[in-house]
């Protein structure tokens, strides 16, 4: 295969995968495989710049920063449409009456056909394709002149750089760049974790991203796009209806929303408005209404425009998702993981279709950054099923007696508002947390579920619903109370019965014999995962030594740094947690002591194993536990540092890698013989 053909095939394959992932939401290859294809294309284009093209997928990573956006004059003006602010059925009915009147239709004549679609809450964009290739992207601007944002728009993966099956001289696609709710929340959460500024709302996020002068910054923002119409066209046979135009764009791989319909008359529009209003909260993106358009393009031409607005289209609004209200107080809520979240207590306000009296402030840093104080007038946002949040303060309305800047530690006097345990904030963390994990009522369900999980105490049958019943019924206040449960209390719970109750009690009794590593992990110490718990058990050998360890001795354990060490110290310095640990031991929880000594004497100590294929005598998880108990490390990938690869039936690429690197390979029988030799 010659170089030009390979490059062309790579581009086509990458764009096919982009469409599957970003538009259809049905990826067909793993991310690693996609990255491999992308890197190959990047390398070939860098080595052979003569094959570079403006529609290559590699153009999506962004170009050089701009000093300013160039002006773009629209060949066909990007006009806004009229907004019908009456959110009742009357809004749709009034539009139909106007259209019929303009067309001179009597009441007895057939109803008009309308195309109904969503009114996306983002930034309008015009995409200009010449001979099927994206050559320019521009904002609406004043309708006549916009800004050239081509570099930034190219970073949006769902926008095709080359139209599928279209070689028209000019085809301008118009639509909305938006940010999905999930991507918006994920982006903001990542920003909060890093102590960086968050986006006010998805619409501002989309608009601000597109208008970044540095396309590399725009590329980091997760944006999407939906087409809703056309601008200039040359050399393209347009369908006769608006809905058919959108169908044609979808066939060209242009993203078009599925939430659209062709209806007849006012009654059809009313039904569409009601249907979308009912599912608005479940949509993955924000909308602020629906749009009705006369479906026939010929009738659109006949109706024309008035005051720079088309007579043939209207936006029918939904209730606003942002409103202004007053902060009466700031409360602190404790989450199930111990996270402390400031919550604004508001003057009740109707927003996003419901009355809101509480709104999250996320964390102390966010509250300070926005400078939210008691008495402030604030902007509250509620979109979909997202928790209402305070997005900003109206500083001009701040009263003279407004409270001081928010200080969470000072407000709580350093103690959890639920259980009175100390609160801590680790270095680099955005959130304050309660240290009373095993004791704090707000964390009981989560603590119980973690304690009983398979990799912790492994209490089979103790799931979320049961944990909720035990906690809500005040039957279990700490994990230690599990070992006091009797048949009457358990059998009376919903959907239990005598047999299920007996199985649960047997599982609880069985869990008493465990390992020190499992017990440490079960305690739910922040930042102490399964692997760290095993390292701590090996190093200290006894729980008492771990509980008394200082920061210096803790940091002698592999992979334990200052943050993990502080988490362990904070946990064991909380009297409530010590009480629960003692209660667990008093109820008979036990393990083999001197694990550290056993590990040091094992010939397996410090060896790195990789498990691959299917073992017949044990599961891979059981094999991993045996190896780790003997001081070995079990890795997920083969490298030069691997000492042994244990290969079961149908071993795959890891076995090939082992042969390639000359790593020792054990079959199952050899592995068992090695284990028996210890």
Domain 322-412 has CATH 2.40.50.140: yes
The whole-number pLDDT of residue 25 equals: 57
Q: Which CATH number among 3.30.470.20, 1.10.10.60, 3.10.450.40, 1.10.287.610 corresponds to the domain 3-52? A: 1.10.287.610
Contacts of 57 (CB under 8 A, 6+ apart): 11, 14, 15, 18, 38, 41, 161
Question: Of the candidates 142, 4, 27, which has an alpha carbon nearest to the alpha carbon of residue 74?
Answer: 142
The whole-number pLDDT of residue 196 equals: 76
The CATH number that domain 82-317 falls under is 3.30.470.30
> For each successive 10 residues of the chain (678 residues), what is the average pLDDT?
84 81 66 75 82 75 64 91 85 95 92 96 93 93 89 90 93 95 86 77 83 78 93 95 97 95 96 92 88 97 88 89 90 90 93 85 89 93 76 90 91 94 84 90 92 93 91 92 92 85 94 95 91 91 94 90 91 93 95 54 76 85 80 82 88 84 90 80
pTM of the model: 0.52
| Domain boundaries defined on the chain | 3-52, 82-317, 322-412, 441-589, 602-676
pLDDT in tens, 246-267: 999 999 999 999 999 999 999 9
Q: At what angle do helices 31-47 and 3-18 cross, to 10 degrees?
A: 140
Edge-to-edge, what's the strand order for the sheet holding 644-647? 633-635, 608-612, 644-647, 664-666
Residues assigned a catalytic role = 119
CA–CA distances in Å: residue 276 to residues 89, 259, 263, 279, 499:
13, 8, 14, 5, 47
Specify the CATH superfamily of domain 441-589: 5' to 3' exonuclease, C-terminal subdomain (1.10.150.20)
The CATH number that domain 602-676 falls under is 3.40.50.10190
The whole-number pLDDT of residue 317 equals: 86
Question: Strand runs (DSSP E) across 287-370, as ranges?
Answer: 287-294, 305-306, 309-310, 313-317, 322-334, 340-351, 354-360
The whole-number pLDDT of residue 507 equals: 95
- What is the sign of the dihedral through the CA atoms of 510, 513, 514 and 520? positive
Burial of 272 (0-12, 13-18, 19+ CB in 10 A): buried
């Amino acid at each position: 295969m010659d170089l030009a053909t390979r490059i062309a095939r790579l581009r086509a394959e990458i764009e096919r995968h982009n469409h599957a992932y970003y538009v259809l939401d049905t990826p067909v290859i793993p991310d690693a495989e996609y990255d491999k294809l992308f890197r190959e294309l990047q390398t070939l284009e860098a080595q052979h710049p003569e094959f570079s093209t403006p529609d290559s997928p590699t153009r999506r990573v962004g170009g050089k920063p701009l000093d300013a956006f160039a002006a773009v004059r629209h060949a066909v003006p990007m006009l806004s449409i009229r907004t019908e602010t009456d959110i009742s059925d009357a809004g749709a009915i009034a539009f139909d009456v106007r259209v019929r009147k303009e067309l001179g239709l009597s009441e007895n004549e057939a109803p008009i056909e309308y195309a109904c679609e969503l009114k996306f809450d983002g930034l309008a964009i015009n995409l200009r394709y010449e001979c099927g290739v994206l050559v320019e992207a521009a904002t609406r601007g004043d309708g006549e002149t916009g800004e050239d944002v081509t570099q930034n728009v190219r970073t949006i993966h769902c926008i095709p750089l080359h139209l599928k099956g279209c070689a028209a001289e000019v085809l301008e696609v118009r639509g909305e760049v938006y940010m999905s709710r999930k991507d918006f929340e994920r982006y903001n959460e990542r920003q909060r974790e890093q102590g960086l500024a968050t986006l006010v709302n998805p619409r501002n996020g989309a608009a601000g991203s597109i208008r970044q002068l540095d396309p590399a910054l725009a590329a980091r923002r997760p944006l999407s796009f939906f087409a809703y119409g056309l601008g200039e066209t040359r050399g393209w046979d347009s369908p006769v209806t608006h809905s058919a135009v959108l169908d044609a764009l979808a066939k060209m791989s242009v993203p078009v929303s599925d939430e659209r319909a062709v209806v007849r008359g006012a009654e059809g529009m009313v039904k569409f408005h009601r249907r979308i209003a009912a599912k608005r909260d479940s949509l993955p993106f924000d909308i602020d209404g629906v749009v009705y358009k006369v479906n026939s393009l010929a009738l659109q031409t006949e109706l024309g425009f008035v005051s720079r607005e088309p007579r043939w289209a209207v936006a029918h609004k939904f209730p606003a998702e942002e409103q202004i209200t007053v902060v009466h107080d700031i409360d602190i809520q404790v989450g199930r993981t111990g996270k402390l979240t400031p919550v604004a207590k508001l003057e009740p306000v109707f927003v996003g279709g419901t009355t809101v009296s509480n709104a999250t402030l996320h964390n102390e840093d966010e509250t300070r950054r926005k400078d939210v104080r008691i008495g402030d007038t604030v902007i509250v946002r509620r979109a979909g099923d997202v928790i209402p949040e305070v997005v900003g303060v109206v500083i001009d309305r701040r009263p003279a007696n407004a409270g001081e800047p928010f200080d969470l530690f000072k407000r709580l006097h350093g103690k959890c508002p639920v259980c009175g345990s100390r609160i801590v904030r680790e270095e680099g963390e955005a959130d304050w947390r309660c240290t009373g994990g095993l004791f704090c009522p707000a964390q009981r369900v989560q603590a119980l579920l973690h304690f009983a999980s398979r990799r912790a105490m492994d209490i089979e049958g103790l799931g979320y619903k049961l944990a909720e019943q035990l906690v809500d019924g005040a039957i279990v206040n700490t994990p230690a109370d599990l070992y006091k449960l009797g048949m009457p209390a358990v059998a009376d719970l919903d959907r239990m019965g005598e047999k299920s109750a007996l199985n649960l009690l047997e599982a609880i009794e069985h869990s008493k014999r465990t390992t020190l590593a499992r017990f440490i992990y079960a305690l739910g110490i922040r930042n102490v995962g399964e692997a760290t718990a095993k390292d701590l058990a090996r190093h200290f050998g006894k729980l008492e030594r771990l509980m008394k360890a200082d920061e210096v001795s803790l940091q002698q354990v592999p992979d334990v740094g200052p943050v993990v060490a502080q988490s362990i110290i904070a946990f064991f310095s909380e009297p409530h947690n010590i009480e629960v640990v003692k209660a667990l031991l008093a109820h008979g929880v036990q393990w083999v002591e001197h694990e550290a000594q056993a590990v040091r004497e094992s010939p397996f100590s410090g060896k790195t194993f990789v498990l691959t294929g299917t073992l017949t005598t044990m599961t891979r998880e059981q094999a991993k536990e045996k190896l780790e108990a003997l001081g070995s490390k079990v890795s997920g990938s083969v490298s030069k540092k691997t000492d042994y690869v244990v290969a079961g039936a149908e071993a795959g690429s890891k076995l090939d890698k082992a042969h390639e690197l000359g790593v020792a390979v054990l079959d199952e029988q050899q592995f068992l013989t090695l284990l028996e030799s210890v």
